[in-house]
Structure 1
């Protein structure tokens, strides 16, 4: 039932300790191999009444297990005094004959063969209600134990982005379930939204990924994006509001805040609001602290939303990660990267691991770097500990030596070109196109060689990773800290920046290399028409053309087809070069300004159904109402109005569904209601009366708000029964589905069935815990 493959021997010992401590009603401690004298678990080193031997022999043969236990018998016979009770725990499944043979080995020290706990017995104990807290502590034990994640890994469950699955099995096996992970899980189970923030490399992405898979286990499907287009993501999840979905936005504000500054603060808030009223949806966001701070400073609407605590923020701080958890992270990386014993001996010598665990700059990303095979193979075993300490002491140099002295010139060009295109993943074909352009300009083309493939092969696994998504090959850096290094190095390397810019093909290259300074260059290209030779990964060209018209009012027949494409693609609001552009404003200008209307044939475009449908797409109800008034004045075909009226009814229904009832509750006397609620058993009538009053008040306000929107729409008769019916039905459903739950959420304690605290807690001396984890052979 449970999968013990993902537990290290030490983790399995802790699991057995927790289970038997609970079952026997005593506190068991566990000890490091080589110093236990035949004891893995006992209540006290000096009072060994109960002794437990733990054998995590899942992948070994029964004969190996039996041979090992026979050696333990010799140690047991030498103990003085002898333990009163002796237990054997193993993760293997054993036959009845196997159990009988093991019992015969230890029959002088066991009451019965019940003292032998195999995988089946441990499974049964973990399934007991009183042990659910232990099960929750061992996240890795049960997440992939059935077919749910197997289906996910086999791509049977829909997932948008194969990148998420890259190295899943390896990541999962060596993931350390910290107390911070448990805190994030509690927040999500109560609030369904979380923003995890922290410095680079503290574990935001891996924590977010594992939280996502926790909800997959509970029957949720995944929505995940690597391109940061929140509007596309929101549109996809709205198709089925009843479907249980967990949405993950990794680096949701961008690695350098570029994406949000241009497009996404309103889109992000719209998504957060949608999650608030969609009980089957869970949203997991993460961001760097510096980027979050910049986003809040630059976007007042985002700052106000977060200050209202409408989404819980959890900050990962390495000071909050215990030294014990840091030790597990370090040990698991050593196992994952198959560190040879002669290297590990230098870590164990004189307890050198303590200087690593206790280092002020300890960071999982640096640990990942120093334990990678590509790194330690270049270091002599005797120098390995010093190498780790030197890297921790100067973390900014993590990639410097390798990048500057370990790469050929074409490999550095390869990496800089990749950085200029994306901070996540980009299609291999796009990177190759830009790389070849740059190599040609450097005069490095040799027709007998495929320089791109040669560099790609050399850099794979050490600096880049390649994944497949929907039939396309995507490429990105192996670690986000590489992007940090390249950004810092390019900031002081003017010559290389100019080389990248002079050979750039995509708008995104200018944006990423120049940042805010890209405005002047792009505007100049827009004026000269040179901009039309540009390409865009995110298809931004049409939007920049709309901006050019809005900003400068110039006419250019080369832009005609791009104007239409821009309206088709445009979200309800975008920000370009610090200017806010709304769809309503853009369409209004194009329609009302006769020179634009005539030159770009805007009115004629409404004969195309795709164009008409796009006009109201993504708009809020009041924006749609304003735009419909403008369209009415253009004396367009009556048939078009009927289409828009139907679309507008849908927008009104969405407005009602997304309305936050908590905003109304803030203006009500909830203190009185809370008093009635707390005394509900003796004041049932007063409670129901107050509840009814608030409900009626909200219904009136919500209905009036919806009708206000209709009244300003001139071409829709406010007495239209279809419109009235849609509004009233929407109000009714909103109240029916969500009001009671909203009041309950507002008043009741935020308890979602938390597990009880363990009856027994292992509390050995602090330094012994670190020794226990790291002063053991790598298995």
Structure 2
């Protein structure tokens, strides 16, 4: 049976109205609660008036359903229809149908006039076109089928699946959804931008869910776009989601070297005719605007493909429906709902600070949803959204729990459970706060769903992150204003990346967001401690460890990310420019890096970026030359794939100033490599640059062969026509009368 729990009672009535209209080949009118004596649906035939009553009781017992049914008898007596239908999502047994029929048998032909969940399900199957007017229902059904038949993908995507299923019931299908579908259908790429809390991620999740129903494998990108490149499978329809791809709070961290190239390459590739790949990106509007100023590729791509969709403020109808859906699917107390129904909704949906994130918070378990005065508390939160976390943080959390929220600030995006516990324990120890294994676990339980979210990653490792970026912003302000906490965080940090993360938040670097000046001022006052912490953690293991498989065995182990030392050296240079630090630390960091490169360990893009940073920094010439020689040797000795050739030849021409057409032996070596590479099953990665390289070497024949491969496109998919969702009259939905009737349901 289909999962009707994703629908609100209003959405269920709309579905039933469409089904009855198709079943009886007539127009079925729908009425809001209280407006017409309890009528939900009605239609007229030559026999007379027909009425249908809908009861969406997905969280209630049959006893409650029967009691509710009996309350309708007086209303039906006044209307005296020739036929009355009672329709519910409750999965009724034969005997339960009979009991409801006994209540209404004066207006029913038979017990068949009582329809349970399975009967509604059968009607949907009979009138299959109706389901596609109700996006949330058919998408949920399609996802369930996909997960059931693709256990391996379901296993890998469990965390993403849980987030989609959690957000689906509260989602309101708005015009922005159709616009995003159109952009994605036309270009295969959709970049969703907008202010914080507007619902970018929820919209992206709906698009993901829809494509999952069509057989697309979902891939969530978390670190950089190279994850998408390495996950590509030629014959498999795939949809990629890269949330906050330019950063969560500010555009402080510039994209890694060539990240804009890789991103633009993949957009070009996916946008090609016949591609069976889709890409959804999401970012805050001001961060995107800043990034476009720094990366021309992003601006030029959008001007050619027009794949950027900017979410703007919701209209009145959407605001009302979003609030209603959140309330209907929440555990808000009955008296609080009555206060909303009696007019409390008005000051919420018309508020200048209205956004779905605040609505979600004020209808969730972290908010007081039981005591009288609920609409006022709701409005006070909208008046001062910065107090959302302040009250809960100060009044409901122990110091140990507060320190856990603060510790998470020093991790980028998310933290693995064991590393977070290590950093948290170190901070607690520095501040003489008792923390045990059990109290740490208790802190996680208390914070989950409010300050933090917990999920499993693709490797089934437990991962923790702040509930949303506003928690990060709040916590950073707390750290910035409490020098004692700042000092303790710096002195206790077991991971170098904790220091760089704090510094990055303080520094900023965006044209729109200048960073957290209070935090930077506090760090500056503690720069001696900060430098000692850098020296202490310089060669510590990385927070960004990756899992590696041992040969052809099933044995795996964790290693540091390849660019660990490159990132740390660049950070040391950055701190040196800001504060001026001991040259001994710089030399120690660069010498570690040289050893790293001499053993052919490292990330080539990061290495090139780091060597350039060293060239631009006032360091000793002998140290710079040693770094260059080590990297040059590493690049020259490792030419196994197209990327290796790209980085080595770029190094020769851009850094050493050597014309490639003056190296015939290298050209011959490149031709042998490409002859082998072009025989591979899918030799498409980085071929544009390989063609350019062949041209530079003067290898015309090879250049022509690469061009032939580039002209081969993916096999085209079957034509995809997005199913239309039902379009409502916004004028009617935005009317004061309609909205009043909508919220009146909550007061019943």
Range moving further from structure 2, 767-776 or 451-460? 451-460
Aligned to 1:381: 371
Q: Distance in 2 between matches of 1:244 and 1:751?
A: 12
Partner of 1:463: 451
Moved more, 187-196 or 397-406: 397-406
Does 424-433 or 20-29 show the bigger shift?
A: 20-29
User: Which of 387-396 and 334-343 deviates more?
Assistant: 334-343
Q: Find out whether 1:541 has 2:564 as its counterpart.
A: yes
Aligned to 1:513: 502
- Does the CA-based 8 Å contact 2:451-2:467 persist in structure 1? yes
* Cα distance in 2 for residues equivalent to 1:360 and 1:448: 44
- Separation (CA, whole Å) in 2 of partners of 1:498 and 1:222: 42
Q: Decide which moves more: 543-552 or 177-186.
A: 543-552
- Paired with 1:325 and 1:488, the residues of 2 have a C-alpha distance of 33
Aligned to 1:559: 593
Matched, 1:427 2:416: yes
Q: Give the corresponding residue for 2:298.
A: 302
1:323 aligned onto 2:316: yes
Distance 2:224 2:156 in 1: 12
Q: Deviations over 1:231-266 (max 9, x none)?
A: 1322222xx222111101111111122444445333
> Deviation of residue 654 (structure 1)?
3.0
- Residues 494 and 317 of structure 1: CA distance in aligned 2, closer, same or farther (over 3 Å): farther
Pairing 1:341–2:330 present: no
**Which residue of structure 1 lines up, in the alignment, with residue 8 of structure 2?**
8
Counterpart for residue 169 of structure 1: 165
CA distance in 2, matches of 1:732, 1:193: 21
Q: C-alpha separation between the residues in 2 aligned to 1:711 and 1:290?
A: 40
Secondary structure, aligned partner of 2:538: helix
- For residue 450 of structure 1, report the CA deviation from its aligned partner: 6.1
Deviation by residue 1:114-139 (Cα, 9 ceiling, x = unmatched): 8666656645654577x73x533422
Counterparts of residues 400-411 of structure 1 (less than 5 Å): 400-411=390-401
Q: 1:713 aligns with which of 676, 688, 697?
A: 697
Offset at residue 184 of structure 1 (A) = 1.6
Point out the structure with max Rg over C-alpha. 1
The 5 Å alignment of 1:521-536 reads 532-536=538-542
Is 1:369 aligned to 2:348, yes or no?
A: no
Q: Structure 1 residue 211 and structure 2 residue 207: aligned?
A: yes
Shift of 1:100: 8.6
In 2, distance between residues paired with 1:567 and 1:85?
A: 78
The residue aligned with 1:646 is 676
| Cα distance in structure 1, aligned partners of 2:387 and 2:61 | 46
Does residue 503 of structure 1 match 2:477? no
3-state SS, counterpart of residue 192 of structure 2: strand
- Which among 722, 741, 746 is matched to residue 772 of structure 1? 741
Which residue of structure 1 lines up, in the alignment, with residue 32 of structure 2? Answer: 31
3-state DSSP class of the match of 1:368?
A: helix
**Cα separation, 2, equivalents of 1:642 and 1:545:** 37
Distance 1:368 1:292 in 2: 25
Distance (Å, rounded) in 2 between the aligned partners of 1:632 and 1:568:
29
Cα deviation for residue 421 of structure 1 reads 1.1
Q: Which runs of 5+ in 2 are unaligned?
A: 510-523, 545-560, 575-582
Measure, in 2, the Cα distance between the counterparts of 1:756 and 1:168: 19
Shift of 1:653: 5.4
Give the alignment's Cα RMSD to 1 decimal: 4.9
1:571 to 575, 595, 605: 605
Question: Is the 8 Å Cα contact of residues 222 and 246 (structure 1) preserved in structure 2?
Answer: yes
CA offsets 1:512-535 (integer angstroms, 9 cap, x no match) = 32227599989x979x97673344
**How far 1:474 moved relative to its partner?**
1.0
Match of 1:676 in 2: none
Conservation of the 8 A alpha-carbon contact between 1:574 and 1:581: no
| Distance in 2, Cα, partners of 1:658 & 1:581 | 29
Please name the residue that 1:250 is paired with: 243
- Whole-angstrom CA distance in 1 between matches of 2:450 and 2:147: 30
Change (3 A) 1:401 1:766: same
8 Å Cα contact 1:434/1:505 also seen in 2? yes
Tell me the TM-score normalised to structure 1 length.
Answer: 0.74
What is the count of residue pairs matched by the alignment? Answer: 685
Q: Is the 8 Å Cα contact of residues 568 and 614 (structure 1) preserved in structure 2?
A: no
Mind listing any 5+ residue stretches in structure 1 that lack a counterpart? 583-588, 660-704, 742-749
Query: Aligned partners of 1:343, 1:333: CA distance in 2, in Å?
Result: 13
Post-superposition offset of 1:104 = 8.4
Partner of 2:262: 267
